[in-house]
Amino acid sequence: MDQPQQPLRPKRRLVLVGLAAAGVAAIGRVAGARPRATHAMRRRDPDLGPKVLIFDPSMPPAAIQRRLDAVFRQQERAHFTDARYAILFKPGRYAVDVHVGFFTHVAGLGALPGGVTIDGHVHVEADWNKGMALVNFWRGVENMAVRPPDGADRWAVSQAAPYRRMHLHGDLALDDGGWSSGGFIADSRIEGVVRSGSQQQWFTRNSAMRAWHGANWNMTYMGVDGAPPTSFPEPPVTNLAIVPMVREKPFLFVDGAGEWRVFVPAFRAKSRGVSWAAGMPKGDAVPLSRFFIARPEMPARRINAALARGMHLLLTPGIYRLTEPLRIGRANTIVLGLGLATLLAEGGSKALTVADMPGVVVAGLLFDAGPVNSPVLMEVGPRGAARDHRGNPIALSDLFFRVGGATVGKATTCLEINSHHVVGDHLWIWRADHGDRASGRVHVGWAETTGDQGLVVNGNDVTLYALFVEHFQKYQTVWNGERGRTYFYQNELPYDPPSQAAYMAGNTRGWAAYKVADHVENHQAIALGVYSNFTADPSIVLESAIEAPRKPGVRFEHVTTISLGGGKGPIAHLVNEAGAAARPGAIRQTLVRYPAL
């Protein structure tokens, strides 16, 4: 992954003050004791499968800690494992340390973040990789309050590791002394200071903090109280006061009567700050009884039959091997994944399709390409979709796509958005640039792991926040729809084109990282970073990071290009013919706006 050009910082160790002693005391007090029965506990919990751990505050803290530690030991280095876990805390307080490893999703089950309080740390470290957090992917935490006893926590991650709906009573470090390439925070309040350290880029939305220290290549804030003001390009900060239109990710919670529900927040227009500042936000609390609870061993036809009956869908952790797609055909259907539930397309199938219906919500999933080429992994609306959804848009949250790495992967396109008025919130679309040597799962390479483009947008009025697309073999992102909006874009070009001749878009050197079609009249993108590192042939040149029609309604702001590895693989221009080359001796280039005023 990307490597920032700066010295490493010494790690500040998190000290778990008092937790070890508290755990020993707890063992002495309650070993062998039965937990007290509460009103909520008397109701039977849903069967969410063996990979979902559900904790109750009446359980002995030491017993909870042992289970947390066991999951972490298994997942700490499990970069390409098939194991998936969701760790859920019922409302109450817990004196535990939650160390979050790969493919682990941690969530509180309160209606508000303060409903679950962790008197300890909820953190990600990079000790397993000598402080390098560049590959600390595929994990997440949401919907809880954290009170670290030493006043500081750490979330040292890169892509696909959301920090959502959190209330941290302390400071937050986003690196671990080594390189890091993240990341995403949304709907969170951090009472202390956020220190981004070596993070190359970061997107923060609808949040509040005391202050933010640090900026390297692209730090973007939207609707965030306490964020630094716009100063791009030095320091490279973009601060937008409001978020035009967004729907927060749905979440599980247990109400005061012990009933399990899924809360689906309403859309917010022109918003700023956390959604829960004044209590429960607007939205719908849908009983879990209206959800079909899917297990990885279930065939797609059984899941599709439930969807056709009008059920919502909760996907429990694991790998769903699909020879036909899951089909979302009804308006306002909710699809929610736990524990990075993974849809693996087999036999050239699509993994998931959404009909051209309003109000559909799809959140919390990982899509994996199989060894037979799929034309597309996720399709939102069929091609030619024409319905107007502006009153009830389709929402996509925390969706991650992977081609290769763990297995041979082939997909022409990962995500194709054909419907109008779709809002996407945190997407990472990745053609693998590396595998796991320790486990022998290394499936990368120009011919073995193939993918033309990560994202194709054909629909009009599509808005995307925090879009990460990396390493595809042609255009990384193709935008054909009108009035598209992208707020924050991170792209790293493929490492492995074997030669310039193999990496030509017709007569043009290389394929742009962001391509807006010639016919488009109106498009806007703000805060874009494009990085090159052509290790297979450093003489390759990309003509332009962004290609777009030269029209007054097509605008770009705060664009950065970087030629990594000391200038391996120059990027000749930033947007069309504008901007200087990122090259040896001048590896970073910036453009404040295009076209220039």
Q: How many helices (H) and strands (E) in the chain?
A: 5, 46
Is the Cα torsion angle 370, 380, 480, 591 positive or negative in sign? negative
| DSSP letters for 14-56 | ---TTHHHHHHHHHHHHTTPPPPP-HHHHSPPP---TTEEEE-
CA–CA gap between residue 468 and residue 531 (Å, rounded): 12
- Say how far residue 559 (Cα) sits from the centre of its chain: 21
Is the Cα torsion angle 489, 495, 500, 502 positive or negative in sign? negative
Question: Which residue in the list 492, 543, 547, 557 is annotated as catalytic?
Answer: 492
C-alpha neighbours within 13 Å on the C-beta side of residue 140:
35
CA–CA gap between residue 18 and residue 35 (Å, rounded): 23
Distances (CA, A) of 538 to 76, 498, 534, 535: 34, 10, 5, 6
C-alpha neighbours within 13 Å on the C-beta side of residue 114:
8
Element (H, E) at 72: helix 61-75
Contact present, 51 and 339 (Cβ < 8 Å): yes
Contacts (Cβ under 8 Å, ≥6 apart) of 501: none
Distances (CA, A) of 527 to 8, 44, 186, 517: 25, 48, 17, 20
Q: If DSSP codes are grouped into helix, strand and coil, which group holds residue 256? A: coil
The yes-or-no answer on residue 492 being catalytic is yes
Six-digit token string for 14: 């998190």
Closest CA relative to residue 316, chosen from 285, 352, 343, 287 = 343
Closest CA relative to residue 524, chosen from 562, 491, 552, 561 = 552
Q: If DSSP codes are grouped into helix, strand and coil, which group holds residue 136? A: coil
Contact present, 88 and 67 (Cβ < 8 Å): no
Strands (E), 139-256: 139-146, 152-154, 163-168, 171-173, 184-186, 189-195, 201-205, 208-213, 218-222, 237-240, 243-247, 251-254
Strands (E), 258-388: 260-265, 267-271, 283-287, 291-294, 312-315, 319-322, 326-328, 334-337, 342-345, 352-354, 361-368, 374-380
Is the Cα torsion angle 36, 37, 39, 40 positive or negative in sign? positive
Active site residues: 492
